[in-house]
């Protein structure tokens, strides 16, 4: 049975973004806003394209930040190549930041080798989109990243910025999320772009990102034996600030479950959370799965787990294989083996092809254990 931690179901936005590779880094507030002059570029080496010392009036630029170790960045290369082909009047510059090599020379060499490898890959695969058909450069130490990424409160790559004809920042964000970069560019070119609306929306999103990172750090510390009171107060502040975001309440439920001595409080909190989310199948399913699957949990409230999983199953009209899998697990752990097998059979039947094997493996385990008992 293969599952991600249930709480990951509720992580918000930037699903493809890599996290800044600095442990314990202070998350910056956004100082760089739409309408501000674009910071200068501090480039150690231009790998492809002509050197740009300053932004030309009348030209539009897209500055993308990436790294050779960043999977989502690499997967995005064809899309950025297609973007450059679609907008030939826009100068796309892809700047490698946060490289893990120790020296600037090693960073320059690593990026150059990577760019060359993409040319060869495009040739072998006969797919020109695989090559990086735009300008590529390497950050000078962390100077460009500090000015742009930290300045905008960006903590993940890939990230991109649109620079307008007057050399001002117009937009920044994840370049491949919901085509937001393309939509922003089209709006800017057509004269429909609203900087103030973007700044307001981004401030809200950035506040959530900072709250999210703060709560995750506090939770990790509490689970490692640190201050439970600090973790709970951090979560409570986030819940107050973002009352409609269920993920913070789910985090609190999971924290109470996983830290010894708080089980009773966890189930009291969980009962209220289940009541509040009684019509949200994903939340109920995740709560039930937490209860039955958390390895260190000694006292499992199977009644709450069963209520949550059964309600989730009803909400989805008994068609969701993941929820059926959870419900079967609850019955199995309660000793109701025949009912668990019957439900797991339905889970296998309803599952998409890519999920059948793992659910069938669970069903085989149930059948084998029952036959041997």
Residue-wise pLDDT tens digits, 61-70: 999 999 999 9
Tens-digit pLDDT profile for residues 34-81:
999 999 999 999 999 999 999 999 999 999 999 999 999 999 999 999
CATH node for 17-193: 3.40.30.10
pLDDT at 372: 65
Lowest pLDDT segment from 4-8, 156-160, 208-212, 239-243: 4-8
CA distance linking residue 199 with residue 293, whole number of Å: 42
pTM: 0.62
User: Is pLDDT at 260 greater than 80 in this prediction?
Assistant: yes
Residue holding tokens 């695969």?
Answer: 125
Where residue 371 falls among pLDDT bands split at 50, 70, 90? low
Domains of the chain, by residue range, sit at: 17-193, 260-373
The 3-state secondary structure of the chain reads CCCCCHHHHHCCCCCCCEECCCCCCCCCCCCCCCCCECCCCCEEEEEECCCCCCCCCCCEEEEEEECCCCHHHHHCHHHHHHHHHHCCCEEEEEEECCCCCCCHHHHHHHHHHHHHHHHHHHHHHCCHHHCCCCEEEEECCCHHHHHHHHCCCCCEECEEEEECCCCEEEEEECCCCCCHHHHHHHHHHCCCCCHHHHHHHHHHHHHHHHHHHHHHHHHHHHHCCCCHHHHHHHHHHHHHHCCCCHHHHHHHHHHHHHCCCCHHHHHHHHHHHHHHCCCCHHHHHHHHHHHHHCCCCCCCCHHHHHHHHHHHHHHCCCCCHHHHHHHHHHHHHCCCHHHHHHHHHHHHHHCCHHHHHHHHHHHHHHHHHHHHC
Where residue 30 falls among pLDDT bands split at 50, 70, 90? low
Long-range contacts of 54-57 (CB under 8 A, 24+ apart): 54/167, 55/163, 55/167, 57/165, 57/166, 57/167
Quick one: CA dihedral 91, 92, 96, 98, positive or negative?
positive
pLDDT at 7: 35
Does the domain at residues 260-373 carry the CATH identifier 1.25.40.10?
Answer: yes
Mean pLDDT in residue range 230-252: 89
Most confident of 15-24, 177-186, 210-219: 177-186
């Amino acid at each position: 049975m293969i599952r991600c931690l249930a709480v990951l179901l509720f992580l918000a936005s930037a699903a493809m973004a890599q996290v800044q590779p600095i442990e314990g880094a202070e998350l910056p507030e956004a100082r760089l806003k739409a309408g501000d002059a674009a910071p200068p570029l501090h480039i150690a080496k231009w790998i492809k394209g002509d050197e740009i010392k300053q932004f030309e009036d009348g030209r539009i630029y897209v500055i993308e930040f990436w790294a050779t170790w960043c999977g989502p960045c690499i997967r995005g290369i064809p899309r950025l190549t297609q973007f450059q082909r679609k907008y030939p009047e826009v100068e796309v510059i892809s700047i490698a930041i946060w490289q893990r090599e120790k020296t600037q020379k090693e960073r320059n060499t690593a990026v150059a080798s990577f760019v060359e490898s993409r040319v060869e890959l495009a040739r072998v695969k006969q797919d020109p989109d695989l090559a990086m058909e735009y300008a590529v450069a390497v950050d000078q130490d962390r100077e460009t990243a500090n000015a742009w990424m930290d300045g905008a409160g960006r903590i993940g790559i890939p990230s991109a910025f649109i620079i307008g004809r007057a050399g001002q920042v117009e937009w920044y964000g994840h370049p491949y999320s919901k085509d937001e970069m393309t939509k922003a560019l089209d709006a800017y070119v057509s004269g429909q772009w609203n900087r103030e609306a973007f700044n307001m929306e981004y401030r809200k999103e950035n506040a959530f990102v900072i709250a999210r990172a703060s709560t995750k750090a506090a939770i990790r510390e509490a689970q490692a034996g640190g201050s439970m009171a600090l973790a709970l107060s951090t979560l409570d502040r986030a819940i107050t600030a973002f009352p409609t975001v269920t993920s913070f309440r789910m985090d609190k439920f999971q924290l109470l479950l996983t830290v010894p001595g708080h089980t009773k409080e966890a189930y009291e909190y969980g009962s209220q959370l289940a009541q509040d989310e009684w019509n949200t199948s994903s939340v109920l399913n995740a709560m039930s799965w937490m209860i039955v699957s958390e390895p260190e949990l000694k006292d499992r409230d199977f009644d709450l787990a069963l209520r949550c999983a059964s309600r989730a199953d009803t909400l989805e009209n008994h068609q969701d294989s993941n929820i059926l899998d959870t419900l079967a697990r609850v019955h199995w752990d309660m000793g109701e083996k025949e009912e668990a097998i019957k439900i797991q059979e339905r889970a296998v039947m309803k599952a998409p092809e890519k999920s059948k094997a793992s659910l069938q493996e669970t069903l085989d385990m149930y059948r084998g254990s029952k036959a041997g008992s």
